[in-house]
Amino acid sequence: MWRSKSLSIITYEKNEAYGLKIIELKETNERIGHAGLVPQRIIEEEQIEIDYWIAPNFLGMGYATEVAKALREYGEKELSLNKMISLIPIGNTASQKVAINIGMKKERD
């Protein structure tokens, strides 16, 4: 299971590797969003997306970057994934910054 410094991860199902998981603050057990590695079909090719959603009152606190980094490291080290993607809507500059901060590069609009 992927690990994060200040967040706990609760699985929806027994499949720990893929799919969205609930994320909560370790200190308070407060649920603040969900995240996971999600299979996506892009131009007839299956790719793995680093996906997350953080509740609005927890934005700007670094949690998105923390969970995205943890997912990327987990995908690379534990699942031997060579490539992961992030599908980011145009204009979502916060998520674009998260992707850059974890070492991702823009491929297309």
- State residue 48's pLDDT score: 94
How far is residue 56's CA from residue 32's CA, in Å, rounded to a whole number? 9
- The pLDDT confidence band at residue 61, using thresholds 50, 70 and 90, is very high
**2-30 pLDDT tens trace:** 677 787 765 545 557 888 889 999 999 99
In the predicted model, what is the mean pLDDT of the chain?
89
Q: Looking at residue 97, what DSSP letter applies?
A: H
7-101 carries CATH number 3.40.50.300: no
pTM value is 0.83
Q: What is the 3-state secondary structure (H, E, C) of 45-81?
A: EEEEEEEEEECHHHCCCCHHHHHHHHHHHHHHHCCCC
Beta bridge partners of 40: 47
- State residue 15's pLDDT score: 58
Domain boundaries, the chain: 7-101
